[in-house]
Amino acid sequence: MEEYLIQFESWVNSLGKRYGVNPLILGTLYFLSKVSMVSFLGWAFKRLRRKQTILVPVLLAAVSFSVPYTYIIIAGRNIPAWVYLFIVLMLGYGGFVIWRKVTTRAIETAALPETELTEKDI
């Protein structure tokens, strides 16, 4: 098993050198972007329950979702065209998912009468 991990690590590092992208930086950005996106969506849902504007948290969630892909676009060299197509599809899908989550939660929140919102929800 250790042999496969060593082969995988050398393969990932060779891809990083070939395309000018540091795999450790990319992995760190990817992990942190998903954690921050979920945090910003939670903030947006909290503001939505309070019937406040959610523009800033949703925009921050969208920006945090796109950070690792932006790194690939900026730092990458000689990257195949299909990777750029994949990035565009991922950004489109991510935007759709964020939009769907927020609108679904907005519909659920709008259906609640004001009396059902407790201090715990706020």
Domain count, the chain: 1
Of 7, 39, 10, 13, the closest CA to residue 25 belongs to 13
Residue 48 contacts residue 106 (beta carbons within 8 Å): yes
Q: Is residue 47 part of a domain?
A: yes
* Mean pLDDT across 92-121: 74
Calpha distance 42→24 (Å, rounded)? 27
State the pTM of this model: 0.73
pLDDT in tens, 56-81: 998 999 899 899 999 999 999 999 99
Q: Which domain holds residue 28?
A: 2-116
Q: Is residue 122 part of a domain?
A: no
- Give the number of residues written for the chain: 122
Assess whether pLDDT exceeds 80 at residue 117. no
Average pLDDT, the chain: 87
